Structure 1
Amino acid sequence: MKLKGFMDQAYEGKVRKEKRLDEKKGEFLLGFEDLALRLKDRPKRAEVENLAPREADSIVDLVLSASPKDKREEIIWGILTSLAAESLSEPLVIPPRNFASLELKRGTIILDGEASGAGPKARASNKAGQTPALWTSAHHLGEKMSGGMLVVRGRAGDYLGQEMSGGGIVCASCGDYAFRKMTGGWGVVKGDAGNYIGVGNSGGRIAVKGRAGARAGWLMRSGRIRVGKDAGDYLGLMMSGGEISAGGRSGSRAGWRMKGGTITACGYGPEVGAEKVGGRIFRRKAD
């Protein structure tokens, strides 16, 4: 019998159907599913924190024993990972899963495919920028971080560090929309990054040691993006401020409709600066 059915039978459905308003932090929980049942459809950090156990070990147990079934439960789990890390004196090492390190304020989280509880398909590489095919990428890692540090020992999925305002993230490589709407903090990608890195940024620092995909720095207003090798098409598309540099070449239409800021690369594809109304574009001499 599932936990929900057990609780409905034990309490004749009253507790589960009508959420109690007097639930307090540290109240006894039967597990992650019980916690999820007590929360609203769109749980907020304060609500999860109010119901989470007081002891760090108990929060860690919830994190390791959880099996989120949908996005809502993944968000709850992600908040729990941050609460656990914030209450520990040493780094929290857990398997990669969507929304890990959600709204982290302090502490350190290490995502490792070989950590306890990881499935056979999650195996991280120790080589920078290289990830075996069996590694399972997780999305929305480090979203809305304001402090602390997240280390991904492998490839991060899409939306890495989205809306982060502080703290730092290190990963081997990442998917699309990394550090979207970033306002502060820093991120280091040891390998390649996907498309749309740093879209809409108004602060923060991003370093990609490998290549970056298309439209890096799209609508960027402030902050810095450093790409070690080549960048894709539309580098700095419609940016109005900030700095973007590439150690290699950029694709076509770099600085398209650019309003401000600076772009520097060793070379550019066709139509560089097309329809540009402001900002500066420089060509760096190749080493």
Structure 2
Amino acid sequence: MKCADSTRNDMGQVLQLDLFAADPVPVETAPVPAARPSQAPPEITVVATPRPPTLPEGARWREVRTHEQVIGFILRRSRRKSIGLVINDDGLHVTAPGWVTLAQVDATVAEKSRWILGKLQIRQARQEQLAMADTHWQDGGNIPYLGKRIILKLGNAHDGHAFEGDAFKPRDGDILRLPLPGTAEHQRVRDSAHAWLQLKAAEWFGQRMEHFQQSSQLQARRWRLSSAATRWGSCNSDGNIMLNWRLIHFDHAIIDYVVAHELAHLKEMNHSREFWREVGRILPGFEQARNALRQHDPATLPLI
């Protein structure tokens, strides 16, 4: 996961800087040359690779026994110059030039079996997570809010949302009543809950921005919420700050860290030692919150 900040180059163009120095999310494609089977790798959990109900036109189903398990995949021929591996919703797709033999294709799958199975595990976990998400968006479902798990209740008789608890100091089990009938579809429940969460994000982030701007003597030109899929926050050289509304799922310490991080960029538009000293000046002891946030990708929320 990444957050990003921006600056301008010598031509005046706005550039983006990574908020974290964490490794990027692995790419889902891996063009590789034909290779020999690898030596026995460490044990990997068995992942199901079932044949899909239908195959693309011109494709065939093939299975290869590797050191870890049998891997099934869809094989297609193309004019490309090397063998390509892609993981998508149907599993593993292998694209190979017409001159590459089936033995070479099989050898490549065996060579890359650890990469393939690792990606398939991520895909499987993501699918399970998406399937589980539907249980959140229904009467009695629970969602993360300011570090706690709150319960959704449908059939609210009021005209709007009603939160039974302290909106900014929630406790596990507090109830958010949505103005929807008990039979509302999952998408309507999700959209209604998101609307309330975004409203609370604007209120709480605004309070924290004001607090840290006063204490740090740093002033953003303006700030607003974002729905970025890959960034928790950003700051550009014009002094504009954006904060991902999904931060409202996390506890106060993590939100404070992102606010302090972006404000520090108003003084140091980089990630130098001086920048991190500035973050520490604004928010002493920020390291724990930073490390906790590094474990999450904006794209996975609120599926946690």
- TM range, normalised to the smaller chain? under 0.3
The structure with the largest helix share of the pair is 2
Larger RCO (CA under 8 A, 6+ residues apart):
2
Q: Which structure would you say has the larger Rg? A: 2
> Normalising by the residue count of structure 1, what TM-score does the alignment of the two structures yield?
0.23
